[in-house]
Amino acid sequence: MKIIKNEGIVDRVTRGVIGSNFVIFAFFQLEGIALLLTLLLGAILISSAVTGYCMLYKTCGINTKKDWE
């Protein structure tokens, strides 16, 4: 199965920055279940930014990637 990128550059950078901030915030400010959930959300956002693919976008039929990207 080939994964087709469906996130544009702005979307990917935004997800990367927000995901990184979640991970940093979780390590320094949280503990317990809140730490785990925030780390999970941050990891999902970072992996989506790295791959350029969002499963939720595919399900909803959204594509923010431009043809020239």
With respect to residue 22, please indicate whether it lies within any of the assigned structural domains.
Answer: yes
- Residue 47: name the closest of 14, 19, 8, 11 by CA: 19
* Token pair of 7 as six digits: 């996130």
pTM of the model: 0.87
| Chain segment 20-47, per-residue pLDDT in tens | 999 999 999 999 999 999 999 999 999 9
With respect to residue 66, please indicate whether it lies within any of the assigned structural domains.
Answer: no
With respect to residue 3, please indicate whether it lies within any of the assigned structural domains.
Answer: no
Percent pLDDT > 90 in the chain is 87
Q: Would you say 46 and 21 are in contact if contact means Cβ atoms under 8 Å apart?
A: no
DSSP secondary structure code for residue 52 in this structure: T
Q: How many domains does one find in the chain?
A: 1
With respect to residue 65, please indicate whether it lies within any of the assigned structural domains.
Answer: no
With respect to residue 69, please indicate whether it lies within any of the assigned structural domains.
Answer: no
Gap between the Cα atoms of 1 and 37, Å rounded: 29
* Owning domain of residue 17: 9-60
With respect to residue 46, please indicate whether it lies within any of the assigned structural domains.
Answer: yes
With respect to residue 38, please indicate whether it lies within any of the assigned structural domains.
Answer: yes
